[in-house]
Amino acid sequence: MSMMQAFTKNYTNNSTDAGFQFTFHCDCCGDGYKSSFIESETYKKRKKTSFLGKSAGLAGGLFGGKAATAGNAAERGSSISNERFDGQPPEWHKEHEQAFAKAQNESKQHFHRCPHCNKYVCDHCWNEDAGLCTGCAPRQEVYVAAAAAGAMKRNIDDKASTAVVWDGKIESKVTICSTCGKPAGTGKFCSNCGASNDMKECPKCGTKNAPSVRFCNNCGGNMQGEAPAPPSAGCPCGHSNPPGTRFCGGCGNKLQ
């Protein structure tokens, strides 16, 4: 079977043994035009039925959706056709080539060839004012709108990077009430039991601690303050003894 030459390399062969149909894709956006289905007379005679087009559509038309693969689809389509239709008789292959030529004539009117990049593009991707595809010559109003939107986004991002969205005082807050053990809320008093949410200040280093903390999280100091030392056990002889001493360490006199 000879290789079928398409006006654009970006096409898909949708043919089956029951008939022929082809989709030609826009080189810019990938949308395609599917040609009208042509039933195979060879297949019809062989099956003795009036129509076995299987899942192919009867009428051609534009539809969305990109090609399965881009690039040199002509070689790919030819290779696939050789594999899929190797068992078909010569009459079928002749019909196939004739149907391909008709499909191209039908589809060409829906495409424009850009003289700058030589791509075949659909009406949507054709700048009729410039006579070029929109890839080479974007429509002015579209390009201006896109550029303005891009500038707006950059301006917003620049403003946002310097904007002050919160100027409250940064300070520690109680999250769990030390009295009831439930979320304390954001007020001065627990929203569940009414206990104070104020943080306690360490008498030694001044660090703020939760009300339930007994020792400072920063310095380890007693949050209730340093306990006063018990009075030393004095002796008439003047010797100072540790608290709880029963006999003076200086003279041996009984202290208790």
The whole-angstrom separation of Cα 139 and Cα 121 is 14
Does residue 12 or residue 233 have the better pLDDT?
12
Which DSSP helix (H) or strand (E) runs through 234? strand 233-234
> Within the chain, how many helices (H) and strands (E) appear?
4, 14
The alpha-carbon radius of gyration of the chain (Å, integer) is 45
Q: Where are the domains of the chain?
A: 11-133, 172-227
Alpha carbon separation from 250 to 187, 233, 234, 253 (Å, rounded): 60, 12, 10, 8
Of 109, 104, 90, 81, nearest to 14 (Cα)? 81
pLDDT for the residue 78: 47
**Share of residues in the chain with pLDDT > 70 (%):** 77
What is the residue type of 69? Answer: T
The whole-angstrom separation of Cα 101 and Cα 79 is 18
Q: Is the pLDDT of residue 110 over 50?
A: yes
Summarised one tens digit per residue, pLDDT across range 111-159 is: 999 999 999 999 999 999 999 999 999 999 988 999 999 999 999 999 8
| Per-position DSSP letters for 121-141, written without gaps between them | E-GGGEETTTTEETTTS--HH
Cβ-count burial 147-168 (b if 16+ within 10 Å, e if not): eeeeeeeeeeeeeeeeeeeeee
Summarised one tens digit per residue, pLDDT across range 236-250 is: 887 777 777 778 877
pLDDT for the residue 182: 81
The mean pLDDT value for 170-198 works out to 74
Terminal C-alpha separation, the chain: 124
pLDDT for the residue 152: 93
The whole-angstrom separation of Cα 64 and Cα 32 is 6
Of 67, 60, 85, 81, nearest to 26 (Cα)? 67
pLDDT for the residue 93: 92
pLDDT for the residue 107: 93
* pTM exceeds 0.85, yes or no: no
Summarised one tens digit per residue, pLDDT across range 72-90 is: 444 444 455 556 777 888 9
